[in-house]
Structure 1
Amino acid sequence: MNSLPIWLLHVSRTERITPHMARVTLTGDDLRGFSLTEPDQQVKLYFPRPGQSRPLLPEVDGTTDLMSWYQAFNAVPEDERPWMRSYTIRAHDPATDSLTFDFVLHRHAGPATRWAMAAEVGDCLGVFGPSAYFARPKPLSASLAEADWVLLAGDDTALPGMATILESLPAGKRALVLAEVQEAADEQPFRTAADLTTTWLHRGAAEPGQSEALADALRAASLPEGEGFAWIAGEAGLVRRMRRHLVDDRSMPKSRIEFSGCWRLKLTQDDAPTPEDLAEAQERLAEAQAQTS
């Protein structure tokens, strides 16, 4: 058995669920016995380079540790090394040993969009996680359970995480969703037992990350009384501005806000972190230390 949750899975199904989102289901023997215990569970996906039938990943055995694996991964020549992107598991089906991921089909296609648009049954993808190495200091499910109400706000990239959170909420839990997509045809139905109010925002011809519709909707939103919990995801700069609004203007404690910059305007995960990224990482580390102390 591998010491790290790193495996190669194969496409078993693809479908276009909206004009700008594709759903890909992956399966493999390594998923036998796998269980998904938390909503918004993120993993790393590894995409093969052109001409490769599978992503070129270092071997893993029962003694491989994370540091040595990453050293071996970084030693792969750059033009052969797989592209890595972070994604949320949309669904897990233990009956078929499969994981499902939703891919936003960006106008300016990067490696993930290109792969998802061309994916066919049998294609191979690398997956790392879920892993305790990337676990939250406090389980998301615990934060959701403690809150009187839940606010979920984000762009297209946040929809898979939103959906898993909403599916985890109990009957009667008050939930508000602010979701930005390109057009009405990109809206998706949410399945939940919660008392849900959804506001869809359409950016139209505006480039992703350059619309203020989501931030404006949050500033205008009437939030319920009681102890709330906010989950914000999307373009990193926009997420930071929305979080500052909740903290500075709504007096929401930072401990009751989960935020994730899923992507960066004009930058990818292959690019070096910006000063803002580093400051955010330091703040996350400080919050994590505070929660565990």
Structure 2
Amino acid sequence: MTLPVTFAEVVEVRRITPRTARITFAAEELPDTVGGAPDQQVKLCFPRPGQREPVLPARQDDPMGWYQAYLAIPEAERPLLRGFTLRRRRPGTRLVEIDFVLHGDTGPAAAWALRAEPGDRLGMVGPSALYGPSVPFAEAAAAADWVLLAGDETALPAIATLVGALPEGVRAYLWIEVTDRAERQELESRAELAVEWLHRDGAAPGALLAEVFRDAALPGGEPFVWLAGEAGAVRAIRRYLVEEQGVSKASIDFTGYWRHRLTQDDAPTAEDLADARERSAGY
């Protein structure tokens, strides 16, 4: 399995909400499969201070071999990796759009995006099946009586691509937690959507999302549930669905995109490792 690795240069930066920047990149190389499915995940490699572009190992057929080569780069030169969802590929081009949540200078990705301008360069690794779910979304949604997608603003790019891939006749419920009303985005789909926006307005991240699950009366029938966002909130919601609502673990695709008060550079917790084991085992 070849792991795509390329440099990507900023060609456009737009604020689509006050706290979200949509950045268009021109990739030097881009397989035809990129942009051909929803919820495609990539790793962006951010340069260290003083570097015009990150130091990247060459593309390899062995993804783990590439990662070992990445780790072999001296720490002072090694790029910082962060996971993102491809929002869109412009048809017939090597241009891809990626949305960045702007939450200040506390993390390397948001800090970089705040200052991004045309000509800036990153590394892009993937998309790869290694980063995706064990069951394709379209297949799981088609087998369910209804679909529920829930997450915070970091999940919006993935949610937008997922609902955009749903066919007519599918019932899909969306519960999306954002900072405030200004962070809402338009979502296009052929499916029958019921969208509920949850505005934090100062509440703790994930609190409103967990609350709406506890208070809601879920439809009857067999669902397929897609969850993403702050890891603690996602974990609590999944536990509630399985233990209190009787939803099968196999019917829940879940990902903790970020951790409250921890970064991706911090060591995984015991709960993080347990989540990873369950995902790798097919939920």
The verdict on how the C-alpha distance between 1:119 and 1:79 changes in structure 2, with shifts beyond 3 A counting, is same
Q: CA offsets per residue over residues 108-165 of structure 1, 9 Å max, x none?
A: 5310001111111121111111113334322122112212211011111011111011
Contact 2:46/2:79, CA 8 A, preserved across alignment = yes
Alignment of 1:159-198 (within 5 A): 159-198=156-195
Whole-angstrom distance in 2 between the partners of 1:218 and 1:136: 23
Normalising by structure 1, report the TM-score: 0.91
Contact 1:32/1:94, CA 8 A, preserved across alignment = no
Q: What is residue 291 of structure 1 aligned with on the other side?
A: none
Q: What is residue 11 of structure 1 aligned with on the other side?
A: 10
Q: CA RMSD in A?
A: 1.7
Alignment of 1:39-188 (within 5 A): 39-60=38-59, 64-107=61-104, 109-188=106-185
The verdict on how the C-alpha distance between 1:257 and 1:3 changes in structure 2, with shifts beyond 3 A counting, is closer
Q: What is residue 277 of structure 2 aligned with on the other side?
A: 282
Moved over 6 A (4+): none
Q: What is residue 262 of structure 1 aligned with on the other side?
A: 257
Whole-angstrom distance in 2 between the partners of 1:107 and 1:180: 19
The alpha-carbon deviation at position 272 of structure 1 amounts to: 0.9
Contact 1:233/1:262, CA 8 A, preserved across alignment = yes
Say which SS state the counterpart of residue 166 (structure 1) adopts. helix
Contact 2:20/2:99, CA 8 A, preserved across alignment = yes
The alpha-carbon deviation at position 59 of structure 1 amounts to: 2.3
Say which SS state the counterpart of residue 85 (structure 1) adopts. strand
Structure 1: where are the runs of 5+ without partners? 289-293
Contact 1:156/1:179, CA 8 A, preserved across alignment = yes
Q: What is residue 238 of structure 1 aligned with on the other side?
A: 233
Say which SS state the counterpart of residue 226 (structure 1) adopts. coil
The verdict on how the C-alpha distance between 1:225 and 1:3 changes in structure 2, with shifts beyond 3 A counting, is closer
Contact 2:27/2:96, CA 8 A, preserved across alignment = no
Return 6-15 or 101-110, whichever deviates more.
Answer: 101-110
Alignment of 1:204-223 (within 5 A): 204-207=201-204, 209=205, 211-223=206-218
Normalising by structure 2, report the TM-score: 0.94
Mapped pair 1:227 → 2:229: no
The alpha-carbon deviation at position 171 of structure 1 amounts to: 1.5
Say which SS state the counterpart of residue 113 (structure 2) adopts. helix
Structure 2: where are the runs of 5+ without partners? none
The alpha-carbon deviation at position 3 of structure 1 amounts to: 4.0
Say which SS state the counterpart of residue 282 (structure 2) adopts. helix
Contact 1:56/1:82, CA 8 A, preserved across alignment = yes
Contact 1:183/1:204, CA 8 A, preserved across alignment = yes
Contact 2:35/2:86, CA 8 A, preserved across alignment = no
Whole-angstrom distance in 2 between the partners of 1:231 and 1:67: 27
The alpha-carbon deviation at position 182 of structure 1 amounts to: 0.6
Whole-angstrom distance in 1 between the partners of 2:104 and 2:132: 31
The verdict on how the C-alpha distance between 1:108 and 1:205 changes in structure 2, with shifts beyond 3 A counting, is farther
Whole-angstrom distance in 2 between the partners of 1:180 and 1:131: 28
The alpha-carbon deviation at position 220 of structure 1 amounts to: 1.6
